[in-house]
Amino acid sequence: MGPGQTTRDGAVTLEELDCAFACGSAPVVQVEPAYHGRVSAGDVDRLLAGSPGQVAPPVTAQTAPPAA
């Protein structure tokens, strides 16, 4: 399945994005409504099944430590 394609059952559409503003935890994927960082190709099926497992959340302005 490539960017812009939808599964036959219509449940999943793969979309490519240029930036999720989470460079510190790239690669990042969004599985509605959550973002998951530091993912590998092997994490995708588990994430789509609704089981986040050990995938780290992305570092965002809300979760990053304050600048010193």
pLDDT tens digits, 18-62: 776 777 778 888 877 778 888 888 888 888 787 655 555 555 555
Q: Where are the domains of the chain?
A: 20-63
pLDDT band at 68 (very low <50, low <70, confident <90, very high): very low
CA distance 27 to 8: 26
d(CA 11, CA 2): 15
Task: For residue 23, list its beta bridge partners.
Answer: none
Query: For residue 6, what are the contacts with CB-CB under 8 A and spacing of at least 6?
Result: 12, 13, 14
pTM: 0.53
Dist. CA 56–CA 11, nearest whole Å: 24
